[in-house]
């Protein structure tokens, strides 16, 4: 080959390489690191950005940047002791039912108006007004007369336990002492809204007004709403009016509603996201071995379980329910099926809630399970009626269901049919109790056992098992009246024992929060509610 030809080839190759090199773009993450712009995967498109209307974590993630409650979350959000928010200090009455909050005078709305005690009264009135139909109104039932006002049995809001002592002093009176009250204030249902903005776009109790659109929105959080392009991105910018603006290091946060977990993970790899909302099961193993630094699997208050239709034979027989629960090897599920840091669950409430330690009432025991089946009249599963296991379309649910189906077949000799349906069909059938066994899960709204155990109260809206126990209701009620923390936890423990002993549900796993986090993100702490206060987060390129 002549030198000329070789040189030609070489130059062609170098031009190609140069082209490839030049074309490699600066990724959004790299630009973000430089300009303090955080790119977050936010799973689904929020329905609205009204703290009194929203229901899900993806909306909360945005609202947490736009609004601030009386108290705020500490950098370590798993702590039950919240940091000061709009209130700079507070005091509690001796009987622990009256809280007096002193609002900081420099707390402002993003349009410059001061945040006053009356703004909170307006917000709580709106939240509790029957016509608004807020799905989380019950969070405010702990306020004196909150429940009766929301049910329309009380018309005069001044009888509700909310009072402005002066512009900057707010007094909240509770029905009963609630030890976790301050941490509950971090729930979005307690966030204030700007009265003038609400009233400019509609009535106080009118839903679906355009006040949450970027051109209208007024908030009091560390960020302001800059743009909201549906199914594309929500952008919030640092709020110069925020009282603690000096501490806020991020200039912008971009929230991307990427519902498909694989697409989200690809976007992360392409340098478009600093943090993902989750990690696909298939990819967890890859990151564990190849890049463990990016993978965050943290404890989370999320319980995965199976509901049993206790009104339907043979599931109305406690022995059958117990046998089904005992014949599942949860260690196998966690270690070989889900493989993402799940913990085997023998109780409904996950660990990590303060001092609460529910008792393990049963364990995997194939022998006992078989004996129970014999006692119930189904030795080796003979003549056992065909049951179906209902779940909605998702890789994770299918895998778990298939393995459990096999375990029940091997261990008890019974056949279970799997029924994989669409999300809304699943929800409707679960609500109508049109199932034998159904997959379910529960995520806590605030850090307290009651956030889990209230579900199983008689007639509770989420009690899809239709289970009812006067003893259980009584224990939960007693706990709600008990101020002594140790005694209260003991009552919850007894209640949970009652629940698990009667086995209307089969606890399976406690799921962790899963995310991929770029190394440049600082201050992103593990959180059992998966909340990450943006005030303390900043970006630092390597």
Partner 1 sequence: MLKFILRRLLELIPVLLISITIVFFMVRLAPGGPFTAEKSFSAEAIARLNEHYGLDKPILAQYGNYLLNLLKGDLGPSFQYPSRSVNDIIKETFPVSLELGALAMLFALFVGLLAGIVASLKPNSIQDHVPMGLAMTGICMPSFVLGPLLILIFGLWLGWFNASGWELPSDRVLPVITLGAAYAAYISRLTRGSMLEVLPSDYIRTARAKGLSEANVIYMHTLKNALLPVVSYLGPATAGILTGSFVVETIFNIPGMGRMFVLAAFNRDYTLILGLVVFFALLVVVFNAVVDILLGLLNPKLRMHS
* Strand boundaries in 150-268, DSSP class E: 162-166, 169-173, 223-229, 233-238, 252-256
Question: By CB under 8 A, which span of 46-54, 96-104, 188-196, 343-351 interacts with partner 1?
Answer: 46-54
- Closer residue to partner 1 (CB): 386 or 424: 424
Q: Using CA atoms, how far apart are residues 514 and 530, in angstroms rounded to an integer? A: 9
Q: Which of 166, 231, 316, 380 binds partner 1 (CB under 8 A)?
A: 231
Q: Which of 34, 200, 229, 487 binds partner 1 (CB under 8 A)?
A: 229
Question: What letters, b where the CB count within 10 A reaches 16 and e where it falls short, cover 32-46?
Answer: bbeebbbbbbbbebb
Q: Look at strands 505-510 and 343-344 and give their pairing.
A: antiparallel
Binding mask 243-262 toward partner 1 (x if CB under 8 A, else -) reads -------------x-x-x--
- Supply the minimum distance, in Å, between the C-beta of residue 489 and partner 1: 24
Site size for partner 1, by CB under 8 A?
57
Could you say whether residue 27 binds partner 1 (CB under 8 A)? yes
Could you say whether residue 272 binds partner 1 (CB under 8 A)? yes
- Closer residue to partner 1 (CB): 137 or 333: 137
Measure the CA angle with vertex 47, ends 44 and 50; round to 5°: 125
Q: Provide the 3-class DSSP secondary structure of residue 272.
A: coil
Question: What letters, b where the CB count within 10 A reaches 16 and e where it falls short, cover 502-520?
Answer: bbbbbbbbbbbbbbbbbeb
What kind and span of H or E run contains 412? Answer: helix 395-412
Q: Which residues within the stretch 481-540 sit at the binding site for partner 1 (CB under 8 A)?
A: none
Binding mask 186-215 toward partner 1 (x if CB under 8 A, else -) reads ---------------------xxxxxxx--
Could you say whether residue 48 binds partner 1 (CB under 8 A)? yes
Could you say whether residue 35 binds partner 1 (CB under 8 A)? no
Contacts of 25 (CB under 8 A, 6+ apart): none
- Supply the minimum distance, in Å, between the C-beta of residue 134 and partner 1: 7
Q: Using CA atoms, how far apart are residues 539 and 352, in angstroms rounded to an integer? A: 29
Q: Which of 282, 359, 410, 431 binds partner 1 (CB under 8 A)?
A: 431
Could you say whether residue 271 binds partner 1 (CB under 8 A)? yes
- Supply the minimum distance, in Å, between the C-beta of residue 485 and partner 1: 27
Burial label for 479, CB within 10 Å (0-12, 13-18, 19+), is buried
Residues forming contacts to partner 1 in the complex (CB under 8 A) are: 20, 23-25, 27-28, 45, 47-50, 53, 55, 130-135, 137-138, 150-151, 207-213, 229-233, 256, 258, 260, 263, 266-267, 269-272, 422-425, 427-429, 431, 441, 461-462, 464
């Amino acid at each position: 080959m002549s030198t000329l030809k070789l040189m030609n080839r070489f130059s062609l190759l170098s031009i190609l390489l140069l082209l490839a090199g030049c074309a490699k773009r600066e990724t959004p993450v790299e630009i973000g690191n430089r300009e303090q712009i955080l790119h977050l995967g936010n799973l689904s498109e929020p329905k609205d950005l009204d703290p009194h209307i929203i229901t899900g974590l993806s909306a909360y993630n945005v609202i947490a940047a736009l609004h601030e409650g009386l108290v705020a979350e500490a950098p370590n959000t798993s702590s039950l002791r919240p940091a000061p928010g709009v209130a700079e200090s507070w005091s509690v009455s001796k009987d622990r039912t009256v809280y007096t909050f002193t609002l900081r005078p420099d707390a402002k709305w993003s349009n410059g108006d001061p945040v006053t005690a009356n703004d909170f009264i307006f917000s709580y009135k709106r939240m509790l007004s029957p016509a608004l139909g807020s799905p989380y109104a019950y969070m405010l039932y702990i306020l004196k007369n909150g429940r009766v006002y929301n049910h329309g049995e009380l018309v005069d809001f001044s009888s509700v336990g909310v009072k402005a002592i002066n512009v900057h002093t707010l007094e909240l009176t509770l029905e009963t002492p609630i030890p976790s009250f301050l941490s509950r204030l971090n729930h979005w249902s307690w966030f204030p809204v700007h009265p003038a903005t609400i009233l400019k776009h509609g009535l106080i109790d009118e839903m679906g007004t355009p006040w949450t659109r970027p051109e209208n929105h007024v908030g009091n959080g560390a960020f302001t709403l800059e743009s909201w392009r549906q199914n594309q991105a929500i952008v919030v910018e640092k709020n110069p009016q925020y009282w603690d603006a000096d501490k806020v290091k991020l200039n912008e946060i971009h929230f991307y509603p990427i519902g498909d977990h694989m697409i989200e993970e690809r976007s992360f790899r392409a340098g478009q996201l600093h943090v993902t909302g989750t990690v696909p099961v298939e990819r967890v193993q890859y990151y564990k071995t190849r890049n463990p630094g990016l993978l965050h699997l943290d404890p989370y208050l999320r319980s995965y379980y199976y509901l049993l239709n206790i009104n339907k034979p043979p599931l109305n027989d406690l022995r059958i329910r117990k046998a089904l629960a005992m014949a599942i090897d949860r260690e196998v599920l966690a270690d070989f099926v889900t493989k993402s840091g799940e913990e085997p669950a023998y109780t409904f409430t996950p660990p990590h809630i303060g001092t609460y330690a529910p008792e393990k009432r049963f364990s995997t025991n194939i022998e006992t399970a078989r004996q129970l089946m014999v006692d119930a009249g189904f030795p080796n599963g003979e003549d056992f009626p065909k049951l179906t296991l209902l779940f909605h379309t998702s890789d994770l649910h299918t895998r778990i269901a298939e393995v459990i189906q096999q375990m029940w077949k091997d261990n008890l000799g019974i056949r279970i049919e799997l029924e994989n349906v669409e999300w809304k069909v699943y929800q409707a059938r679960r609500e109508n109790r049109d199932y034998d066994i159904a997959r379910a899960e529960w995520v806590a709204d605030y850090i307290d056992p009651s956030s889990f155990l209230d579900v199983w109260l008689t007639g509770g809206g989420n009690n899809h098992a239709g289970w009812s126990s006067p003893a259980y209701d009584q224990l939960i009620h007693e706990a709600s009246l008990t101020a002594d923390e140790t005694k209260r936890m003991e009552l919850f423990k007894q209640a949970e024992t009652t629940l698990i002993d009667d086995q209307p549900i089969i606890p399976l796993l406690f799921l962790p929060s899963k995310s991929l986090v770029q190394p440049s993100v600082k201050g992103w702490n593990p959180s059992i509610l998966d909340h990450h206060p943006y005030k303390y987060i900043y970006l630092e390129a390597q």
